[in-house]
Every structure is written in structure tokens, then in C-alpha cells.
Amino acid sequence: MFRKALLCASVVAFASLSVAAAQQPPAGIKRTPLQKIDFPEGYTTVTGIAEIGPGGAAGRHTHPGIETGYVLEGEAELLIDGKPPLHLKAGESYSIPAGVVHDAKVHGDKSLKVLGIYIVDKTKPLASPAK
């Protein structure tokens, strides 16, 4: 009887851990907004710091407007659908057209840190996941 109870408790505990792990957000990208301005008409311009940990990735996503940025620290492969991969390192800049699916994958053992500027449709979220 004790063995059955222990087995059941173990199964429940393992299942609970699996569910909790599935609900954890992916490491992905951390955005720290620095400034937000409603300009130009119908758009919001957001300036912020985006960070991705060593070996991490932002995850495929889009923005409802353009993104431009400057790499402050680290190196990454910028993957923009329809374009060849772009290797970026500190001191370099990039731009991504509105609505285009993209991802950034960090190279090396340092985090990637970029200063990003997003000029996006003010009625939509800053970023949306893509398949």
C-alpha cells in the first residue's frame, strides 16, 4: 500500500514539474523601454535596449513597423526572411523592414545588447511571434 502511495505521489510530482516547466517563458529576448513618443501620426516610436543571453535567440517574430538598431555588446546572426544571414558585432547597425519575420541568434559566450528603435503602428503590439 505504501509503495502504491509513493508511486502515485512521484507520478503527480513529476507531472507537476513538467507542467511548470512548460509554462516558463523562453529565455528569448528582454526589452527595456527607454523612451516612447507618439510620432509620427498614427505611430509610436519606441527606443529601448534589447538583450539576449549567451547562446540564446530572440525567437522568430515581427514588428508592425520598422526596426533599426545599433549593437552595443556581443555578436549575433541576424536572420531576416528573404535575406542572407547577417553577422553583427559591437559597433555595427542594422534595419529590418515592417512586418518581416526575423530572429537573432547570439554567438559566443557573451550576451547580445542592442539599442533598438521601433517605429510601429500605435494600435498594435510592439512585437508578435511568428512561425
Q: What is the DSSP string of 44-96?
A: EEEEEEEEE-TT-B--SEE-SEEEEEEEEESEEEEEETTS--EEEETT-EEEE
Phi, psi of 6 (to 5 degrees): -65, -45
Segment 98-112 mean pLDDT:
96
Domains in the chain: ranges and CATH: 29-129 (2.60.120.10)
Q: How do residues 109-123 score in pLDDT, each as one tens digit?
A: 999 999 999 999 999
Q: How do residues 19-73 score in pLDDT, each as one tens digit?
A: 333 333 345 889 999 999 999 999 999 999 999 999 999 999 999 999 999 999 9
**Which one-letter amino acid corresponds to residue 47?**
T
Instruction: Specify the pLDDT at position 97.
Output: 98
pTM: predicted TM-score of the whole model, two decimal places: 0.77
Instruction: Specify the pLDDT at position 131.
Output: 85
CA-CA distance, 1 to 20, in Å (whole number)?
29
Largest CA distance in the chain: 71
